[in-house]
Structure 1
Amino acid sequence: MTADEPGFDPGDVIRAITELMLGEAPHLKRADVSELSGVNPDIARQRWRALGFPEADDDDAAFTEADVEALRLTQELIELGVIEPDTEQAFIRTIGRSFARLAEWQVRAFLGSMGAGSQEDVAAGDLDELEKVVPLGEQVQAYVWRRHLINAASRLLLTDSADVDASPMCVGFADIVGYTSRSRKMSRRELTDMVERFDEVAAGLITDHHGHVVKTIGDEVLFVVDDPKQAALLALALLDEHEADGTFPEVRIGLAHGNVLNHMGDVFGPVVNVASRLTSVARPGSAVVDREMAEHLRDDDDLRLKRMRRTSVKGYEHLEPWSLKRPREKRDPAG
């Protein structure tokens, strides 16, 4: 049945997709899921909402055995101490948000590959291809997750701090210059190309300098690096990229160093705030660091630091920024 045929109902396709994804058609009510999983109904509801899923009425047969098993596994992780009761909701919210973004992108990519022209065309599409793609995607995601577990464990085990939740590191923001004004003049394709180019190059350079991306926030990327010099070289590399390749947008960068609280894959604390404020005072195509980071870098011959005028920004009345540049080229006396 196609979208233009009489009696077409996208709901039928959605039900078919649901059955494909979960292994069976929904047939359990909320009370059934709680009873079969052994999880209190109120707790089950809280976890469901924390994952970001829409509410279902008590009388709706909206659940499957997969939902029961997910509740059982979550409860087992809590009982093993992997998920602590006081951070349970935050843990579940983080998983839900991460996979929601991933799923949104994956579905759009999949539908785009089908060449669908409208939602009706998409709904009428053949599910055979989806049935082939999903297991492949699951295997790749499991591999990437395991690899990131190795990287995260390596960083934490090699840190000098005894407290893995709060450790000294460099926090940086790289912000696209003039993003708002430029985006108004760009077509959707041009804007997409610019953002994707920014994400691709920034992520690659951050990884090359032994850092990792915490998150992207609109037109900027938040990253962390353990070593101050690597963080400084990363900032300069990001600035150089625009000069070498005009497809990479001009950026401004703020860097700060100090103890940072790591929580659910995000970073918090005054150091993060300082880095953000420094980004706002940096000129287009420049990098600015805080005083503590300048102390780590000031004797390095591969870098050039210059103290700037103190400035007042939100939350900080006398912020002391330092400009970060490459050293001036030495002239040859014989030349």
Structure 2
Amino acid sequence: MSRSDLRDELARLILHEGMDLTGEQVAEQAGLDLDRAERLWRSLGFADSGDVPAYGEHDVAAARLVAAAFDEGLLEERTIFRMTRALGQTLARLADWEVQTIVDQVEADVDAGRASSRLESAVAIAEHVAPGFDRLLLYAWRRHLAAAAGRLEALGAVDAELLSTTMSIGFADLSRFTAMTNTLSDVRLGELVENFETRCTDVVTSRDGRVIKALGDAVLFVNPDPREATLTALELVANIGSRDDLPDVRVGLATGSVISRLGDVFGPPVNLAARLSHVARSNRVLVDDATAADLTDEEFEMRTLPPRPLRGFGNVSPITVSRRRAFRPRTVRRW
């Protein structure tokens, strides 16, 4: 099979159809005006194709769903496009992540003689793995949607409370990362970043927190409980700072009211957590007064450091936190 045929086969296996419709034809068949259809493609992250055929029947079906949402009037137009933009941005990143992850498998298949080319290996993976991954994707989305709806309900019945909530924000930052990138190959750098993000995610989620985003050399996470957020930060130092294959880490924690929008969080605690991480020593955790107020002297050792200027906050006295060695957490009797 030629490379051109393999590329067509790969696209067909992923999309389950050919691409022989123009944007105007899709809009017409879906009952959606062209302006809204083009806005839909842009919201989902797809470039306008003009008169070039670049769509199929699945695109028509998707456009019909949006047209029906407009007709029903249950959702405002602004809400519909905000939701499609969230889908587009999230799934574009997921798709890139999947392809980059599969590269190692493709290379291994070629090296082991299981495939004669990268394209042939990719076609085989798409043919056998994609259907199962589709179901896993839908399962994970429903689980996360249920969890997000539960968090929203827990905020309370007052409308204003749905716009913001009080939580602890953590910012874990690798020390000397920039200098290290100059000494590593691209492959080694990618492995280091993935290792860091994976270990952070495991620690954060194990204490009922959430990773909001990863920035290469830093991870932003949230937890509704300041104590759990502090224990998360200390475990990140213990799990990452002690490893020879990762740089040291420093963590800043701040607690207060934040606004959640488009899967991200905004507000003074987010900025303060980042500032605290930048002034922390390697393998140390710094917290603000609000976080420290929810910690007990019985469990944690806290020491207030001299004031230092933090951009946007003036002079701040950070508090360094560690776990008391003699502390033994209460055990729950299980019958």
The answer for the alignment partner of 2:189 in structure 1 is 191
- Tell whether 2:135 aligns with 1:139: yes
Aligned to 1:18: 11
Q: Is the 8 A contact 1:172 1:256 kept in 2?
A: yes
- Structure 1 stretch displaced more, 29-38 or 72-81: 72-81
| Structure 1 position 141, deviation (Å) | 0.9
Structure 2 CA distance for partners of 1:89 and 1:141, relative to 1, 3 Å: same
In the alignment, which residue of structure 1 is the partner of 2:317? 320
**Structure 1: how far apart are the matches of 2:21 and 2:218?**
44
Asked if residue 112 in structure 1 is aligned to residue 104 in structure 2, the reply is yes
Contact 2:301 2:322 in 1 (8 A): yes
Preserved contact between residue 161 and residue 168 of structure 1 (Cα < 8 Å)? no
Residues 77-133 of structure 1: per-residue CA shift (max 9 Å, x gap): 566677543344443222212111211122233343233779x93345573442222
Residues 82 and 254 of structure 1: CA distance in aligned 2, closer, same or farther (over 3 Å): farther
The runs of 5 or more residues in structure 1 that have no matched partner are 4-9, 331-335
Taking the aligned partners of 2:316 and 2:79, their CA distance within structure 1 comes to: 34
Aligned length: 320
Give the structure 2 partner of residue 127 of structure 1.
Answer: 123
Counterpart CA distance in 2 for 1:283 and 1:140 is: 41
**Cα deviation, residue 219, structure 1:** 0.7
C-alpha contact (below 8 Å) 2:204/2:232 kept by paired residues:
yes
Asked if the contact 2:302/2:322 (under 8 Å) is kept, the reply is: yes
Pick aligned residue for 2:146 from 134, 147, 150? 150
Deviation at 1:69, TM superposition (A): 1.0
Distance change >3 Å, CA 77–CA 205, structure 1 → 2: farther
**Residue type at the aligned position of 1:93:** R
Query: Which residue identity is paired with 1:61?
Result: P
Q: Answer yes or no: is the 8 Å Cα contact 1:304–1:324 preserved in 2.
A: yes
Supply the distance in 2 between the matched residues of 1:82 and 1:254 (Cα, whole angstroms): 42
SS in structure 1 of the partner of residue 205 of structure 2:
helix
RMSD of Structure 2 on Structure 1 (CA):
2.6
Structure 2 residue aligned with 1:45 = 38
Distance 1:253 1:81, change over 3 A: farther
- Give the CA deviation at 1:230: 0.5
Q: Distance in 2 between matches of 1:277 and 1:150?
A: 33
Deviation at 1:328, TM superposition (A): 5.8
Q: Percent identity?
A: 33
- CA shift, 1:2, in A, is 4.5
Q: Which residue of 2 aligns with 1:306?
A: 303
Kindly state the Cα deviation for residue 319 of structure 1 after the two structures are TM-superposed.
Answer: 2.9
After superposition, give the CA deviation of every residue in 1:14-60 in whole Å (9 maximum; x if it has no partner).
33333333332112122111111122211111121122212202x21
1:286 matched to 2:278: no
- Under a length normalisation based on structure 1, what TM-score does the superposition of the two structures give? 0.86
8 Å contact kept, 1:2–1:124: no
Q: CA deviation at 1:171?
A: 0.6
Q: 2:172 touches 2:252 (CA, 8 Å); kept in 1? A: yes
Given that 2:193 and 2:216 are in contact with CA atoms closer than 8 Å, whether structure 1 keeps it comes out as no
- The answer to whether the 8 A contact 1:288-1:323 is kept is yes
Residues 1:266 and 2:261 are matched in the alignment: no
User: Which letter maps to 2:117?
Assistant: D
Letter aligned with residue 207 of structure 1: T
How far has the Cα of 1:204 moved from its partner? 1.0
CA distance in 2, matches of 1:154, 1:130: 35
Q: Residues 48 and 129 (structure 1 numbering): CA distance in 2 closer, same or farther, change over 3 Å?
A: same
- What SS does the aligned partner of 1:60 have? coil
C-alpha distance 254-111 of structure 1, shift in aligned 2 (>3 A): closer
* Aligned-pair CA distance for 1:220: 0.5
Gap change, CA 1:79 and 1:276, over 3 Å in 2: farther
Partner residue, 1:98: 90
Conserved? CA contact 2:156–2:162, under 8 Å: no
Is the 8 Å Cα contact of residues 171 and 222 (structure 1) preserved in structure 2? yes
Partner of 2:245: 247
Counterpart residue identity of residue 102, structure 2: F
Residues 221, 78 of structure 1: alpha-carbon distance in 2 compared, 3 angstrom cutoff: farther
Q: Distance in 1 between matches of 2:48 and 2:266?
A: 31
Note if contact 1:289-1:322 (Cα within 8 Å) is conserved in structure 2.
yes
Q: Partner letter of residue 141 of structure 1?
A: L
> What SS does the corresponding residue of 2:117 show, helix, strand or coil?
helix
What amino acid maps onto 2:134 in structure 1?
A: E
State the AA in 1 paired with 2:64: R
